[in-house]
Structure 1
């Protein structure tokens, strides 16, 4: 390992690249390919989906890097699609391909030895994360030429940061955390192989062949080049913040939302979503007649017919929308918004999913950020993902965050809180003035 760390390259004032390499599956796989399906294709002009996990650790850093690589080589025997590339067949249909001659996953070792874990866990925005994450502002479409997964392992003053960039055209959040959990279990020695192998045949969920008129990153739609998270930051002064809701906060929110209804109670997700939607609408100071849209990127594994296993590897999410006037959100009790959200979610069954897919296949449109809806609150990720159980052998995470990519005004990521139980962290990206008002909203912050 010493040779690998011999040459240093500075990427900014605090982070140095120590080595760059690639990891392939430990055993030969041969040639494999799988067609991308309707659930995958709309994300081609989004950006790689980034996750950053921060750990406290006094372990030898070279040992950590080697253990990470060794475990990655084993887990990729099952998750080999992540070691492949995007390609198109003779009909122009996108697919993910793998063969043993490909370079595999890109792995970078870096050092930021003046940066402390506490500094990163206290970071409410994302400004300190950029140099800890690979593939900032890289389009998923560039997976035609770049690895579909890039990893950066960074030595901190008192810990380690693992930054990952996943090509969003080939997997969603459920698949991401399935992979991360399996990788960590192998690294920690709690499992010698992948306990639950991924279900890799996407065509079981949808087998329509869709040709898209895209061939290389430069052909991406103009919105994909300009509607970047950083571009939005410049244009709209976008800012991010994590709001941490304790278990008691969540219970109080849920009790409040359910106080005015004698029917079926609203779930934690529906209650928290209504709480966030209402507060963001206030913070934006929308006119009563202005529309506001709530969007949730919902897991469809148990909604499609036939149902797909939890281990289905790919994108099996679909955006579910509901819209109303801002004045109705503001003038009605909070259960009004919760009921709109619940109705939209419950009505999105196999028939609705199939109709949406059929409509898209008739006129394929690559998603733009604005497609989430006007004055939107768009919720991704899930507090159900057991992100704080991702232990590579040097302890559980101190913090789990999304990266800089794919952020826009109204994007919300939900994670379980580090304290466990029913605590939830809410990452919100908003225009700066609206976020300032949200930060002072005692009702939203549960300070009333």
Structure 2
């Protein structure tokens, strides 16, 4: 294991979270150099997103220091295969953004690791349906834009000892990888820790050549700083506090929603999927909760995995970003007045239309006039869905058992942002993590049509 050690003690403000140690974890064979990884059109738009934060909470009664040692050793081994996460973001000689993987004199950046204790905090507090503010103290790099990856590690991890367990908080630079690759890495890291296997023996090795998906070299004009880009957002200064909450839908509930959405479908018509049906259910409820007028426009955005849609298709092991956002919109009154099949039909239409030809056209459009993202670009009165119940989030077992709860941090959350996770109870159950303004959230919590399916 290659770890650069440094110890410190530091209390985080506001809560009893005390940082007890900091270190830098490098690939175990840090002397080896790896090829530069060019960022492509599917990566670059996310440079002005924020670090993608994930928190996994575990019950654990064993020795915390011993567990952390095992996790760091496994992380060092995992970085052998997932080496871009230990690299440095920069530009090549032509000004194209790349990840430099130890080939320069300064070598690897590595992964920042923080060790902390929150002795009075129980697992149940972090696993509650209402997302606690405390969560921001459990995961690193809150409020840090991916652009800062030019000067920071591309992955930071915090291990926090709790009263009856521990939490693993990870912050991934979203310009380097999407959700599919995030959980590919997490599953592989856990596999190494749980089985003691070598990194070369993991179940699914990552594919690092992003030019297989698209080989257009784009010279992106970057803002001088993250604050410069934030200041260019016309909505800055008009934000109000947001609430985050998890609503769990059982397998039976998902089946009922899907059945309701498909009721009355013409014979031979393509059925609506569980995702399209649940999306329509959420969209309808959020429009009600916001008290939108019938004529108010509302937009539904989906961050779609394009691995199987590009030509040629890419394997699930493609490591990087291979997602695009697709949008559909209509009048709020239509969403609310019609059965679930109306919204599900809009979602099905925009999903089915986003084939290889559409992906290529969208990519060419962006390459001709690259645009840096602001949250307002998600659309007016929006519901925006990221993550996927396909991701094996509750199978990330480092040898301490399954997580009690998987959560997103506060980064990249805005009014209407939704993350979908596979439910812990398994099957087709789904955890719906929603961010809304306080009054609409209060209305949603009381909405029997939304809650009692």
Q: Deviations over 1:357-384 (max 9, x none)?
A: 0000110001111111111110000001
Q: Which residue of 1 aligns with 2:119?
A: 113
| Structure 1: runs of 5+ lacking an equivalent | none
Corresponding residue to 2:90 among 63, 87, 91: 87
Instruction: Check whether the contact 1:141–1:216 (CA below 8 A) recurs between aligned residues.
Output: no
Report the secondary structure of 1:397's partner residue.
Answer: coil
Q: Which residue of 2 aligns with 1:196?
A: 204
Runs of 4+ in 1 over 6 A off after TM superposition: 3-6, 224-228
Corresponding residue to 2:37 among 34, 38, 41: 34
Instruction: Check whether the contact 1:5–1:18 (CA below 8 A) recurs between aligned residues.
Output: no
Cα distance, 1:127–1:265 mapped onto 2, change above 3 Å: same
Q: Is 2:249 the partner of 1:245?
A: yes
Alignment of 1:141-156 (within 5 A): 141-156=147-162
Mapped partners of 2:217, 2:60: distance in 1: 47
What is the CA distance between 1:223 and its match in structure 2?
Answer: 4.8
Alignment of 1:200-215 (within 5 A): 200-214=208-222
Instruction: Check whether the contact 1:46–1:224 (CA below 8 A) recurs between aligned residues.
Output: no
Instruction: Check whether the contact 1:37–1:210 (CA below 8 A) recurs between aligned residues.
Output: yes
Q: Which residue of 2 aligns with 1:137?
A: 143
Q: Is 2:295 the partner of 1:289?
A: yes
Instruction: Check whether the contact 1:59–1:394 (CA below 8 A) recurs between aligned residues.
Output: no
Q: Which residue of 2 aligns with 1:62?
A: 65
Q: Which residue of 2 aligns with 1:25?
A: 27
Alignment of 1:332-343 (within 5 A): 332-343=338-349
Report the secondary structure of 1:322's partner residue.
Answer: strand
Q: Which residue of 1 aligns with 2:264?
A: 260
Mapped partners of 2:8, 2:40: distance in 1: 42
Mapped partners of 1:371, 1:6: distance in 2: 42
| Structure 2: runs of 5+ lacking an equivalent | none
- Comparing 250-259 and 3-12, the one that deviates more: 3-12
Cα distance, 1:143–1:6 mapped onto 2, change above 3 Å: closer
Instruction: Check whether the contact 1:136–1:405 (CA below 8 A) recurs between aligned residues.
Output: yes
Cα distance, 1:172–1:227 mapped onto 2, change above 3 Å: farther
Q: Is 2:17 the partner of 1:15?
A: yes
Q: Which residue of 2 aligns with 1:50?
A: 53
- Comparing 240-249 and 344-353, the one that deviates more: 240-249
Q: Deviations over 1:211-250 (max 9, x none)?
A: 111164357423578978xx77xx2232111111111111
Q: Which residue of 1 aligns with 2:279?
A: 273
What is the CA distance between 1:126 and its match in structure 2?
Answer: 3.9
Instruction: Check whether the contact 1:139–1:217 (CA below 8 A) recurs between aligned residues.
Output: no
Report the secondary structure of 1:273's partner residue.
Answer: helix
Q: Deviations over 1:109-154 (max 9, x none)?
A: 1111111011111151241201101001111011111000000001
Mapped partners of 2:100, 2:382: distance in 1: 36
Instruction: Check whether the contact 1:45–1:224 (CA below 8 A) recurs between aligned residues.
Output: no
Instruction: Check whether the contact 2:421–2:430 (CA below 8 A) recurs between aligned residues.
Output: yes
Q: Is 2:179 the partner of 1:176?
A: no
Q: Which residue of 2 aligns with 1:323?
A: 329
Q: Deviations over 1:336-392 (max 9, x none)?
A: 000000010001000000000000011000111111111111000000101000001
Report the secondary structure of 2:48's partner residue.
Answer: coil
- Comparing 356-365 and 28-37, the one that deviates more: 28-37
Corresponding residue to 2:380 among 361, 364, 374: 374
Q: Deviations over 1:20-60 (max 9, x none)?
A: 01111111331531111111111111110000000000121
Q: Which residue of 2 aligns with 1:236?
A: 240
Cα distance, 1:283–1:48 mapped onto 2, change above 3 Å: same
Question: Please, what is the CA RMSD of the aligned residues?
Answer: 1.9
Cα distance, 1:381–1:223 mapped onto 2, change above 3 Å: farther
Mapped partners of 1:115, 1:238: distance in 2: 23
Report the secondary structure of 2:333's partner residue.
Answer: helix
Report the secondary structure of 1:42's partner residue.
Answer: helix
Report the secondary structure of 1:44's partner residue.
Answer: helix
Instruction: Check whether the contact 1:376–1:410 (CA below 8 A) recurs between aligned residues.
Output: yes
Instruction: Check whether the contact 1:240–1:428 (CA below 8 A) recurs between aligned residues.
Output: yes
Instruction: Check whether the contact 1:293–1:377 (CA below 8 A) recurs between aligned residues.
Output: yes
Q: What TM-score results when the alignment is normalised by the length of structure 2?
A: 0.94
What is the CA distance between 1:7 and its match in structure 2?
Answer: 4.2
